[in-house]
Structure 1
Amino acid sequence: MKNKNKSILLMLFSALTFSSMQIIVKLLPDIPLLEKVFFRNFISLILAFFIIRKKRLRYFGLKKNQKFLFFRYLFGFAGVVLFFYATAQMLAADAAMLNKLSPVFVIVIAHFFLKENINIVQLSVLTVSIIGSLLVIKPQFDYTAIPAAAGFVSAVVSGAAYIFIRLINNRESVYTTVFYYSFFSSVSCLPFFFIDFAIPDIHELFLLVMLGALAALGQIALTFAYNGCPASEISIYDYSNIMFSSVLAYIFLHEVPDMQSIAGSTLILASSFVLYVYTKGRS
């Protein structure tokens, strides 16, 4: 099998695991938010620990890279917390769609932090994506808009996390970056256990472990997919996550997006496809 075909299959598998993880978040209504985030990161932490130990890599990276690793953790952790909150409070497909705005916000953040120019194509994609997100969010200017706003902000901070991943690039091993992020994300959740912690029953514990395992498998598959093929050729397949989330949410949660959400999702997907074609043409 060609490397590109393997990478596509890995991207699809990663999208499926992340979609399944999202459904599990909604199937655990009695488990506090930060407890779910902890399990999402703790399994990855254990896995990264043993890989780093076997490969004799650095756990926390070089001193000169601490700034980049810290901000990757900070924005990535905030993105997961906001995404899990949005997922728990709104339709899974809508939350997944808002989260997929992050590549669009990478354009804006890269402009300010990396001094990359924004051209007319990118500006058009950004404008259409925001219009689409407003259709999905359906702002009511009351408390009901908070979960959708959280989903929107999760895309922004996730975009910022991707920028710092780009800045780290080959300065550190992928496993070091994963360990650093997973360690501090797990530690950040612990203080909240004293405020709100639920002892899971056997069924809930199984789902929590599955939540972490799926996150770890999805991250590994995603890493190998990008290692085996240029991002410009396979990144579009990550949007299959939206389809998987929609199907799984319908099967397990009986969720059906309304016409306004479908229209907004169509605009976001169309603008993302234009961005993908444009980026691929420049690579």
Structure 2
Amino acid sequence: MKLQIPSTGVLLTLLSQLFNSFMIMFCKLLITDPDLEVPMHPLQILFVRMSITYIFCILYFCFYEKNKDFPLGPKGFRKLLFLRALGGFVGVGGQYWSLLYLNVSDTVCITFLAPTITSLMAYFFLNERFTSVEAIGGLFALFGVVLIAKPHFLLTLFSSNLNSNSNSDSTDIVSSSNGRIIGSCFAFFSTFGTGVAMCAIRKIGFNAHPLFMVSIYALFTLIASFVGIIILPGLSFIIPHTIKQWSLLTAIGITGFVMQFLLTAGMQREKAARAISMTYTQLIYASIFDFITNGTIPSGWSLVGEIVIVIAVFSIVYFKPDTTTTTINTNTVPDLESTLHPINDVNIELSTYSDHDHDYDDTDFKISDDEQSNH
């Protein structure tokens, strides 16, 4: 094992989770706004968020970098782009629907199986290496999630009189056994949807601009959420009527767009197991923002869980097996600039695992001066 500086992909994914936490904070402020007579449904927030995201993508491809492949993406990768959009929608939709049957803490714990499921899917379908450090670190991070969320289904194993003595949010929803099974199925579908979306991004790689993946996902989701608002009983569009509400909706759209772009760019540059593990940090960001906005101090167990997550993520980011140097040919250069302007037929030297040809990150790429001058 050796100590390693975090790659650009890891840093982009970490930054995406910061913006994701900002977005969640703005959502919470909007939903709990006392000026709203009827709380805004998450589907409407999702519709507005994806509408803003898609508008930004249109502006980019129509005015900044005109691309003949917009809006469907480059030929040969459109099925994968659609798969990314479908998986992303299932990931988001599964979370929302599971909340109808499960407590928030239960849903969080189940959906945070997504990093492990994504890593296993990448291992089996993309031949990406899944190291023991990543596996153990992921398990410890999931244990930290359990300490923070304190799911009802685990607490009942240790306390038979939990429902009569506890004042936590785990008693806010009383679910039948059938309801909990349905909710758990939705949550598990969410994790698999996320895994499919992330693996599709890895498979596409640098053959498509990251905003293609974001735009198709946004278009698919805004159409699906619009249909959901129309056909589901009891739902209707709520028009914001204060500057604060409009500002929060706009902030949700902007932070959601930035989060999706950073997450996609990060997944392009780093293998799935390491990149997706960074999503655990959003719980830490959420605790910080909750303290800033509401003055809520995490419990002792929550603090222990956050420390466990930090240690687990640190181990995944900074430790990897010893590497040897080899030379390969590729048709793309994995840096942020090359994502915007692809460079073809470049000989690249990279550091890779001695027993696997596909496990690398962008910090190891070295382009010769002669080839740089040719481009």
Q: TM-score range by the shorter chain?
A: 0.7 to 0.9
Kindly state the Cα deviation for residue 215 of structure 1 after the two structures are TM-superposed: 1.4
Query: In 1, Cα distance between the equivalents of 2:110 and 2:247?
Result: 28
Partner of 2:19: 17
Partner of 2:195: 159
Please give the residue correspondences for 1:1-283 in structure 2 after superposition, counting only pairs within 5 Å.
14-29=16-31, 30-54=39-63, 55-58=66-69, 59-82=71-94, 90=104, 102-141=114-153, 143=173, 154=190, 157-194=193-230, 195=232, 196-197=235-236, 198-202=238-242, 203-220=244-261, 231=270, 241-279=282-320, 283=360
Look at both structures and tell me which one has the larger radius of gyration over its CA atoms: 2
**What letter corresponds to residue 40 of structure 1 in structure 2?**
R
Q: Quick check: which one's strand share is greater?
A: 2
Q: What is the DSSP-based 3-state SS (H/G/I as helix, E as strand, rest coil) of the residue aligned with 2:297?
A: coil
Q: Is contact 1:12-1:238 (8 Å) kept?
A: yes
Kindly state the Cα deviation for residue 117 of structure 1 after the two structures are TM-superposed: 5.0
Q: Quick check: which one's helix share is greater?
A: 1
RMSD of Structure 2 on Structure 1 (CA): 3.9
The more displaced of 247-256 and 185-194 is 247-256
Query: In 2, Cα distance between the equivalents of 1:48 and 1:124?
Result: 38
Query: In 2, Cα distance between the equivalents of 1:242 and 1:152?
Result: 19
Q: Structure 2: 5+ residue runs without aligned partners?
A: 1-5, 32-38, 154-170, 323-352, 354-359, 361-375
How many residues in Structure 1 have an aligned counterpart in Structure 2? 273
Q: Using CA pairs below 8 Å that are at least 6 residues apart, which structure has the higher relative contact order?
A: 1
Partner of 2:35: none
Kindly state the Cα deviation for residue 41 of structure 1 after the two structures are TM-superposed: 1.2
Q: Is contact 2:18-2:285 (8 Å) kept?
A: yes
**What letter corresponds to residue 133 of structure 2 in structure 1?**
V
Query: In 2, Cα distance between the equivalents of 1:153 and 1:264?
Result: 25
Q: Is contact 1:104-1:125 (8 Å) kept?
A: no
Change (3 A) 1:275 1:156: farther
TM-score by length of 1: 0.75
Q: What is the DSSP-based 3-state SS (H/G/I as helix, E as strand, rest coil) of the residue aligned with 1:107?
A: helix
Q: Is contact 2:53-2:257 (8 Å) kept?
A: yes
Query: In 2, Cα distance between the equivalents of 1:86 and 1:204?
Result: 26
Change (3 A) 1:104 1:176: same
TM-score by length of 2: 0.59
Q: Structure 1: 5+ residue runs without aligned partners?
A: none
Percent identity between the two aligned chains? 24
Kindly state the Cα deviation for residue 8 of structure 1 after the two structures are TM-superposed: 9.3
